């Protein structure tokens, strides 16, 4: 598995509340997580860090022989535990009231992608034909798009595009969406915060991912393109490429 990660504070914000992690060789899997925190007084970066740390810790003993459904349940349980931890801190400490975070978690093997997510951070899969979005945004504008009140193009510039309908840590209980999908050699998985997906359309993202650049250069180019498009939010990108071990780059 080849991986790349890039995060940038953007051109407007003073604090990067995004967090991301990639862990290779986790009992036969690769784990990747992106979280986009929210909350005043730097509480957002605390929420996203707690979420990442908790999910990663809870998945350290995942077993290679587990079925995809069992793996999905384990990931969902880890995300729910992270939700409780963030919610308890937000409820007990006044300066952290209302903090929360999005999260998108990918646990991948050579054949399967297992995704859990809450919020509007996304997962995309690029194969030799298409790029498809594996997650559905838990956001107000997505509800408006689904009901036909606004177009997908209008959603990207809507004044309430940052309003979430579901987040990690803002309520005691939360529903976790799961997706299990196959992938094959040379396919690429992209996890990102909305600082990327709200500024670049699918065609722009696909063009960069299909370029001849190395994987880390593609991650850098995605972030740079979002900065050039306005950079009005934190931008975080994680890329995973399904390649043979002997093709894998060091680093």
Q: How confident is the model at residue 248 (pLDDT cuts 50, 70, 90)?
A: very low
Phi and psi based region of residue 142 (left: phi greater than 0; alpha: psi -120 to 50; beta: remaining): alpha
What's the pLDDT at 244?
A: 76
Q: What is the CATH number of the domain that holds 8?
A: 3.60.40.10
What's the pLDDT at 246?
A: 52
User: What pTM does this model have?
Assistant: 0.94
Per-residue pLDDT of 183-230, as tens digits, reads: 999 999 999 999 999 999 999 999 999 999 999 999 999 999 999 999
What's the pLDDT at 161?
A: 76
Per-residue pLDDT of 12-62, as tens digits, reads: 999 999 999 999 999 999 999 999 999 866 799 999 999 999 999 999 999
SS3 labels along 92-154: HCHHHCCCEECEEEEEECCCEEEEEEECCCEEEEECCCCEEECCCCCEHHHHHHHCCCCCHHH
As a whole number, the mean pLDDT across the chain is 93
The number of domains in the chain is 1
Domain enclosing residue 132, as ranges: 2-247
Average pLDDT over residues 117-138: 97
pLDDT surpasses 50 at 250 = no
Per-residue pLDDT of 130-148, as tens digits, reads: 999 999 999 998 899 889 9
């Amino acid at each position: 598995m080849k991986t790349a990660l890039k995060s940038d504070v953007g051109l407007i914000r003073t604090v990067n509340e995004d967090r991301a992690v990639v862990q290779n060789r986790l009992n036969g899997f690769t784990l990747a997580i992106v979280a986009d925190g929210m909350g005043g007084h730097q509480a957002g970066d605390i929420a996203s860090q707690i979420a990442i740390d908790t999910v990663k810790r809870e998945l350290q003993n995942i077993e290679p022989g587990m079925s995809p459904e069992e793996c999905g349940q384990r990931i969902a349980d880890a995300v729910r535990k992270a939700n409780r931890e963030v919610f308890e801190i937000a409820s007990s400490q006044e300066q952290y009231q209302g903090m929360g975070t999005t999260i998108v978690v990918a646990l991948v093997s050579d054949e399967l992608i297992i995704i859990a997510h809450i919020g509007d951070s996304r997962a995309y899969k690029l194969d030799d034909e298409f790029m498809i979005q594996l997650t559905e945004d838990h956001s107000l504008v997505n509800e408006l798009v689904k009901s036909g009140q606004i177009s997908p193009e209008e959603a990207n510039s809507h004044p309430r595009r940052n309003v979430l309908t579901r987040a990690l840590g803002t309520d005691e209980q939360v529903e976790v969406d799961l997706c299990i999908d196959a992938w094959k050699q040379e396919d690429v998985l992209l996890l990102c915060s909305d600082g990327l997906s709200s500024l670049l359309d699918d065609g722009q993202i696909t063009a960069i991912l299909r370029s001849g650049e190395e994987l880390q250069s593609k991650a850098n180019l995605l972030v740079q393109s979002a900065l050039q498009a306005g950079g009005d939010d934190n931008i975080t990108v994680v890329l995973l490429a399904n390649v043979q071990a002997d093709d894998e780059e060091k680093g």
